[in-house]
Amino acid sequence: MKEVFAIPAVGALIYRIKDNKLNILVQERYKENEIFEKGLLELPAGKIREYEDIFKALKREVEEETGLTVIEIIGENNIDTREMGEYTVNSYVPFCCTQNLSGGYSIILQTFLCKVEGKIIPNSNETRNVRWMNFDDIYSSINKNLEAWYPMHINTLFKFIDYYQKGFIYE
| List of domains in the chain | 7-165 (3.90.79.10)
Q: For residue range 160-170, what is the model confidence (pLDDT) as tens digits?
A: 999 999 988 77
The span from the CA of 58 to the CA of 64, in Å, is: 10
Which residues, other chains included, contact 129 with Cβ-Cβ below 8 Å and sequence gap of 6+?
27, 28, 122, 123
Backbone angles phi, psi at 90, to 5 degrees: -105, 140
HSE (side-chain half, CA atoms, 13 Å) at 160:
29
pLDDT at 35: 66
CB atoms within 10 A of CB 93: 12
pTM of the model: 0.93
**Per-residue pLDDT tens digits of the chain, which is 171 residues long:** 899 999 999 999 999 999 989 999 999 988 777 667 888 999 999 999 999 999 999 999 999 999 999 999 999 999 999 999 999 999 999 999 999 999 888 999 999 999 999 999 988 888 899 999 999 999 999 999 999 999 999 999 999 999 999 988 776
Q: In degrees rounded to 5, what are phi and psi of residue 3? A: -80, 130
- DSSP-derived letter for residue 144 is H
> Are the C-beta atoms of 17 and 171 separated by less than 8 Å?
yes
